């Protein structure tokens, strides 16, 4: 059974989950990592579930197109969307305290035409 360490606001929350577990789905039914995991749409559209993978990233699949679109440069920093991942191995995660940190970056606006 995969062991999950979830870090937030200076605390480490430990849990054991069944293989093929989606942590956002679990939080949605009020199981660990509820109530600590911040999430929103559950469909790869909002990035509120973004977490930095501190350990175990080597067991995760390559980011899908939703993660590529929403996380951009943050992927290189180790961030992934928890709603897009099914956990099968031990993993350690950290979620930023700032909810806006999970928001997708907004593209630069084109210069105003004169
Ligand atoms: S919960 Fe919205 S992108 Fe993961």
pTM of the model: 0.86
Nearest 5°: the CA angle 90, 95, 43 is 85
Cross-strand pairs, 81? 50
Shortest-distance atom of ligand 1 to CA 66: 3
Shortest-distance atom of ligand 1 to CA 102: 3
Q: Which domains does the chain have, with CATH numbers?
A: 3-98 (3.10.20.30)
d(CA 45, CA 105): 12
Say how many Å lie between the CA of residue 111 and the centre of ligand 1: 31
3-state secondary structure of 31: coil
Query: 36-52 burial, b if ≥16 CB within 10 A, otherwise e?
Result: ebbbeebebebbbbbbb
* pLDDT means over runs of 10, the chain (114 residues): 96 97 97 97 97 97 97 96 98 82 47 49
Each residue's pLDDT tens digit, 23-55: 999 999 999 999 999 999 999 999 999 999 999
């Amino acid at each position: 059974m995969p062991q999950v360490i979830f870090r937030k606001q200076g605390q480490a929350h430990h849990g054991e989950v069944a293989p093929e577990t989606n942590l956002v789905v679990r939080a949605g039914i009020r199981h660990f990592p509820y109530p600590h995991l911040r999430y929103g749409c559950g469909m790869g559209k909002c990035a509120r579930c973004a977490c930095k993978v501190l350990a175990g990233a080597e067991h995760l699949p390559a980011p899908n197109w939703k993660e590529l679109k929403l996380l951009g440069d943050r992927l290189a920093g180790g961030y992934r969307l928890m709603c897009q991942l099914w956990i099968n191995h031990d993993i350690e995660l950290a979620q930023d305290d700032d909810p806006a940190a999970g928001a997708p970056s907004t593209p630069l606006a084109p210069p105003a035409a004169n």
